[in-house]
Amino acid sequence: MGYLLKGHKPMRNLIRLATLIIILACLCSLPAIGQETGAEVPDKPAAAGEPGDAEEAGPEALEDADIVIGMEPAGEEEASAVEVPLPSQVTVGDLPNDDGTAVYLTWDAFPQETSDVTYTVYLAESRDGPWFEAVSFPANEEYMEEYGHYFPGFFWFQKARHPKSRHVVIVEDVRIGEFNRTGEEIMLPEPVGFTIEPNVGPKNEDGEPIEPGVIDELTGEEVVSQKFVEVEPRKVGTMFLKLTSTVNGETATYPEILEVGARQNWFDTGRLNVLIFAVLFGATVLYFIARARRDPDLFIRKISGLDAVDEAIGRATEMGKPILYLNGMSSLADLPTLAALNILGRVARRVANYESKLTVPCRDPIVLTVAQEIVKAGYADAGRPDAYNADDIFFLTEDQFSYAAAVCGIMMRDKPAANFFMGYYYAESLILAETGASTGAIQIAGTDAPTQLPFFVTTCDYTLIGEELYAASAYLSREPLVLGSLKGQDMAKVFMMFMIVVGTLLMTFGVNFVKDLFKALG
């Protein structure tokens, strides 16, 4: 051993430190060992005639003795009394992040609480009562970390440090809709938060309340109302709370009656995480918009379907055939239709440059009007306003399959060389795409309808999947506003994916901070 330690000073220091720790541990355990040993040693018997003899001891000695052999134990009732834990550090306040109809009561939790103890909170409108039971629950329930929506600071930062360290009770003063107006279902004394008044409505000759204007068809008399009382909700400005704890029928009451008032809150701090991330993402979008104005050539992933637009239009021009463009089946209020109209403007400009014919059949009259203006502006931007023909953009019908049949008829008669299916589609998608494929046309589709994507992918040459439809306008136009918004959203998605990976790894090791940070509280 000496050979091993020779010249190894760090090793010697480590062994010395370990030896010292073992010695200290042994020293610290000596009092406990002595106590256990002392408990097993029998008491030294008192010598005859000594004051320790129970028979010769006076009353004072008997009072001081814990146990006197041969005598009945005194105070048996007191010894068997149940100790009722009394809450400590009790605080009250207006419940944050609510509409001003509730308050909260919180106190320190005892270690290892069980359901044997019951906490009860009573509510009154004055210190003198009457008191109504508001909430009652076992002592091993209702902890503060369970109410993260109302106490986000505790929920985010102190939940892991002090689990189940504070009880919290939310007392609602107004419970609108919990009681109806039928006398059979209203229990007296009046429910907390409501005022019960006698029915002051119209009555018949016998003094019974009646429904005004309601006549029984069989008797021809006015129908007797079941509204024996009127129940009106009210808000109490100040509430008084009393807290008790009960064990096996024994009850202890917190000595102080707590006074608190409820008020409305203008800001929900439980949604603070949503505000922070919204501001950060908004700032990111604004940054990329400003950057796109300085450099319109920001990188965007290549989208093959959009690169093929010029190819499809060029092919139609060479063949001398028209181009068919559909805006989808939804209205102008839907985002896929707006994205389709944006792409239509780009296609219209290219068609005007190639001097080809563009046919746009519409299902919605409002979409028709907007499409005519977009195509007209596209021809004007290309320097060919004279080539624009308003009759090429026309209305067919609003019926789903009637529209699909009409479009299929156009495909079979005109044989367009290029078909564009942009927007949102339903069951007619396969009918349209199959008919277009049978004519030999090059087809480009784009939709965010997940149920229709398989049909377009199967029957079309190119398909814009999901968000590619919305990115198309930025991809084609390179306008700073649209391009910057697209880049900002992409960066936000990258950030969210990164946080998902990091949060998953941290949760694997029991760290839930990232999950709580993104959790929708409440």
Q: Which residue has the higher pLDDT, 398 or 173?
A: 398
DSSP secondary structure letters along 180-222: -S-GGGPPSSPPTTEEEEE--S-B-TTS-BEEEEEE-TTT-SE
Q: Please tell me whether residues 153 and 246 are part of one structural domain.
A: yes
Other C-beta atoms closer than 10 Å to the C-beta of 423 total: 28
Query: How many folded domains does the chain comprise?
Result: 4
Rounded CA separation 492/498 (Å) = 10
Percentage of the chain exceeding pLDDT 70: 69
Work out the pLDDT band at 163, boundaries 50, 70, 90.
Answer: low
Does residue 470 sit in the same domain as residue 440?
A: yes
What was the pLDDT predicted at 405? 95
CATH number for the domain that contains residue 310: 3.40.50
User: DSSP 3-state helix, strand, coil percentages of the chain (rounded to 5)?
Assistant: 40, 20, 40
Q: Which domain holds residue 487?
A: 270-296+483-518
User: Which pLDDT score, from 0 to 100, does residue 81 have?
Assistant: 54
Residue found under tokens 């991330």 = 277
pLDDT tens per residue, range 167-180: 888 877 543 333 33
Does 278 have pLDDT greater than 60?
yes
- Count of H-run helices and E-run strands, the chain: 16, 18
The amino acid that residue 394 corresponds to is F
Residues 228 and 115 in one domain: no
Q: Which of 149-158, 248-257, 406-415 has the lowest mean pLDDT?
A: 149-158
Backbone angles phi, psi at 206, to 5 degrees: -85, 5
Task: Give the per-residue pLDDT at 183.
Answer: 37
pLDDT one-digit tens code per residue, 322-343: 999 999 999 999 989 998 998 9
Identify whether the C-beta of residue 339 lies closer than 8 Å to the C-beta of residue 445.
no
Residue 246, SS3? strand
Question: 124 in a domain, yes or no?
Answer: yes
SS3 letters for 362-385? Answer: ECCHHHHHHHHHHHHHHHHHCCCH
SS3 506: helix
pLDDT at 66: 43
How does residue 148 score in pLDDT terms, banded at 50, 70 and 90? Answer: low
| Token pair belonging to 308 | 């093929």
Out of 124-133, 205-214, 301-310, 491-500, pick the least confident. Answer: 205-214
- Please give the full DSSP string across 401-454, using - where no structure is assigned: HHHHHHHHHHHHHH--SEEEEES---TTHHHHHHHHHHTT-EEEEEE--TTTHH
* Residue 77 included in any domain: no
Q: Is the same domain home to 470 and 512? A: no
- Among 67-81, 283-297, 499-513, the range scoring the smallest mean pLDDT is 67-81
**CATH number, domain containing residue 167:** 2.60.40.10
Q: Looking at the structure, tell me whether residues 418 and 330 fall in a common domain.
A: yes
Does 1 or 17 have the greater pLDDT score? 17
User: Rounded distance, CA 252 to CA 87, Å?
Assistant: 9
312 plus 427 within the same structural domain = yes
Asked whether 362 and 396 are in contact (CB, 8 A), the reply is yes
Check residue 300 and give its pLDDT.
Answer: 81
Q: What is the mean pLDDT of residues 356-369?
A: 93
What pLDDT shows up at residue 209? 65
Residue 362 lies in a domain: yes
Burial degree of 504 (CB within 10 A; 0-12, 13-18, 19+): exposed
The verdict on 367 and 441 lying in the same domain is yes
Instruction: Give the separation between CA 186 and CA 300, rounded to whole angstroms.
Output: 66
Determine the pLDDT at residue 115: 82
* Residues 185, 187: Cα–Cα separation, whole Å: 6
Considering the domain architecture, whether residues 317 and 458 belong to the same structural domain is answered as: yes
Residue 453 lies in a domain: yes
Residues 170 and 187 in one domain: no
Q: Output the DSSP codes for 324-368.
A: EEE--SS-TTSHHHHHHHHHHHHHHHHHHHHT--EEEEESSHHHH
Q: Do residues 134 and 243 share a domain?
A: yes
Q: Could you tell me which residues come within 8 angstroms of residue 122 by beta carbon, excluding any fewer than 6 positions away?
A: 131, 132, 133, 134, 241, 242, 243, 244
pLDDT at 468: 87
Residue 27 lies in a domain: no
By C-alpha distance, which of 249, 263, 231, 333 is closest to 94? 263
Q: Are residues 139 and 215 in the same domain?
A: no
What backbone torsions phi and psi does residue 440 show, to the nearest 5 degrees? 85, 15
Inside any domain, residue 410:
yes
Q: Looking at the domain assignment, is residue 45 inside a domain?
A: no
**57 occurs within a structural domain:** no
Tell me: do 170 and 151 sit in the same domain: yes
